[in-house]
Chain A
Amino acid sequence: MSDPGDPIDIVPLGNGRFQVTQGTKRTIAYAIAGRDTWVFLDGHTFVVNDTADGSPRRSRIDEQGALTAPMPATVLKINVAAGQPVQRNDVVMVLEAMKMELPIRSPRDGVVKAIRCEAGELVQPGTMLLELEDAKIAP
């Protein structure tokens, strides 16, 4: 069963499929990013416009390796610290929006270069949350 307040957990399964878990309820969603991002969840199709609210809803990682907020939200919890190695899909922080928790996962393996937000801070779409860098290869 799920409660609207339960955190939402999303794991990419590959080929456009995503496992969505909220509470104990599991669903498969489908999504693909084009000029807009199309999402299919529970029989409903959504077009998530990148500039729906006028601000660039840049998705979470840009070329510099910065993880950005996908939506207006409050930073609830930061699970990592600068210098810490992370693996792909690790939950690095949790945002809260519309009374729901939204885990932010690392898009790849790497090392946290810097944390750019604080717990309790209100972030806007595109706000940088943390910076990632490639793990240094041991000499």
Chain B
Amino acid sequence: MTASHPFNRILIANRGEIAVRVIRACREMGIESVAVYSDADARALHASLADVAVRIGPPPAIESYLSIDAILAAARQTGAQAIHPGYGFLSENADFASACDAAGVAFIGPPPQAIERMGSKIAARTLAIEAGVPVVPGETPADQSDAAIADAARRVGFPVLLKPSEGGGGIGMKTARSDRDLVEAIPQGRREALAAFGDGTLYVERLIEQPRHIEFQVLADHHGHIVHLFERECSIQRRHQKVIEESPSPVVTPALRQRMGDAAVAVARKAGYRNAGTVEFLVEGAGDSARFYFLEMNTRLQVEHPVTEQVTGVDLVRAQIGIAAGRELAWTQKDLSQRGHAIELRVYAEDPANHDLPQAGSLLLYREPTMPGVRIDSGVTEGSDVAVHYDPLLVKLIASGETRSAARARALAAIRDYPVLGIRTNIPLLIELLQHPRFVAGNIDTGFLDAEGDAIRARLSSSPSPAVVAVAAAARASGTTAASRGVARANNIDPWSSLRGARV
């Protein structure tokens, strides 16, 4: 390793908390950061923190954060030598990675071929099988007759899921637990697939009951070294959106961890993977005999990467930048270990009492909790305007402790000491989840929130106590208003904007 760094300016092709996270890593490493922003984000935290900020277009993402041309133009204009894509937006777009290569800008991520291969569910599944990693048993019978599909179901093993081969998003999926169920499920599934996707072809897959979503972080350099950084348990999710993640998983034993970690590295190696990536598995059962199946590989930094950082002590963003600069990994597998426990809570601008509707508005009052073992990765600050154009993730609170129970207690104390006023958030839901007996016991699966969500939500709304009403009255009486505290209001003309062009 050399002391000097080949990058002295990095463009961050993202917004929100992840852009802030990367900007801070650049600053620590002595690298200048270039933020890009849409008109909706002209005063956003990421745009104000970076050393340089470039406007890339109007609020719709397709014309700004998803515009390859606009982002590469910003890189050229600012002389950035590398681009960090964050997550979402262009992070898993092989065309963008190729365009960066063609423009002579380093893409801080895997090669385009790896993005493309792992981006196709079918190609990724084939690759996992080639790497000797188990996948959820399933097939698309060439003969789509009722009898042939029933044969396939028996080969795959009951219970099975019949899925539209061209589908997605859970539409048209039918469960069958026996031959008898198939009589109705096959024609029904075919009709629904045809109606929804214009193609009645069915895929037959083994239904994994009460699965856990457990993923492994991997890092691969350009010198043939690949390591994994253990697991993240991400089973608390609703409609496939993760809400709480943790590491280690309460059910992964050392023997299972070893097998899954080896499998994750094998997939990454087979894919010719470079940089940070995540191999996702479904896990069935618990203990050493639990079975795991490759689900997919995410070819980017994950939202939940901080829990891995907290238990391994590795800064994944620094590692990504180092790898992109051609450095060798600083550790071998045996140098890495998990210590303690970390839990991440995702704070979303959405109303848990009202169908999780996304919320927009100004953060009139926003105070982050400060206490030992609590990390806040935030994309907002007091006075920030939250727009409806983008992902509703505002901030991630990561609590660390020596044990799971200590981390949970700390997460609960911190989230209860986190006033976010002006827009509704899912904080009340997070408080309930952390205290749910099944979460406390670590007895969770991917169906947990969908199954328990309504009961939890029913407990959320409570009428204000006299103390609350009294505080509200005191706030009004003492003139504690947004205007008095200088919080900018959405759509207000702000005096500094109107001074533009004036001699000051």
User: What residues make up the interface of A, taking CB atoms closer than 8 Å to B?
Assistant: 8, 10, 12, 15-16, 18, 20, 22, 29-34, 37-48, 59-61, 70-71, 97-98, 100, 102, 105, 107
- Which of A30, A31, A97 is close to B466, meaning CB atoms less than 8 Å apart? A97
> What is the distance, in angstroms, from A68's C-beta to the closest C-beta of chain B?
9
Inside 8 A of A15's CB, which chain B residues have their CB?
485
Given A30-B421, A34-B364, do A59 and B477 touch, yes or no (CB 8 Å)? yes
Instruction: Tell me if B's interface is mostly helix, strand, loop or mixed.
Output: mixed
Number of A-B contacts (CB under 8 A): 130
Cβ-based interface call for B476 (8 A): yes
CB distance B466 to A39 under 8 Å?
Answer: no
CB distance B466 to A40 under 8 Å?
Answer: no
6 tightest Cβ-Cβ pairs between the two chains A and B: A59-B476, A43-B416, A70-B473, A31-B475, A40-B419, A38-B421
CB distance B471 to A29 under 8 Å?
Answer: yes
Cβ-based interface call for B68 (8 A): no
Cβ-based interface call for B16 (8 A): no
Closest to B417 in A: A43
Contact with A along B469-495 (1 / 0, CB 8 A): 111111111111110010000000000
Cβ-based interface call for B422 (8 A): yes
CB distance A39 to B472 under 8 Å?
Answer: yes
Inside 8 A of B465's CB, which chain A residues have their CB?
41
CB distance B471 to A41 under 8 Å?
Answer: yes
CB distance B464 to A39 under 8 Å?
Answer: yes
Residue from the set A29, A34, A41, A97 with the largest chain B CB neighbour count within 10 Å: A34
28 contacts between A and B (CB under 8 A): A8-B467, A10-B471, A12-B474, A20-B467, A20-B470, A32-B482, A32-B485, A33-B480, A37-B475, A38-B365, A42-B416, A43-B417, A43-B431, A44-B462, A45-B419, A45-B427, A46-B468, A47-B424, A48-B472, A59-B472, A59-B473, A59-B477, A61-B477, A70-B472, A71-B473, A100-B466, A102-B466, A107-B477
Cβ-based interface call for B415 (8 A): yes
- Which of A30, A42, A59, A98 is close to B367, meaning CB atoms less than 8 Å apart? A30
CB distance B469 to A70 under 8 Å?
Answer: yes
Cβ-based interface call for B261 (8 A): no
Inside 8 A of A46's CB, which chain B residues have their CB?
464, 468, 472
Q: How far is the CA of A33 from the CA of B422 in the complex (A)?
A: 9
Q: How far is the CA of A40 from the CA of B425 in the complex (A)?
A: 12
CB distance B364 to A38 under 8 Å?
Answer: yes
> What is the distance, in angstroms, from B36's C-beta to the closest C-beta of chain A?
31
Cβ-based interface call for B131 (8 A): no
Cβ-based interface call for B85 (8 A): no
Q: How far is the CA of A10 from the CA of B470 in the complex (A)?
A: 8
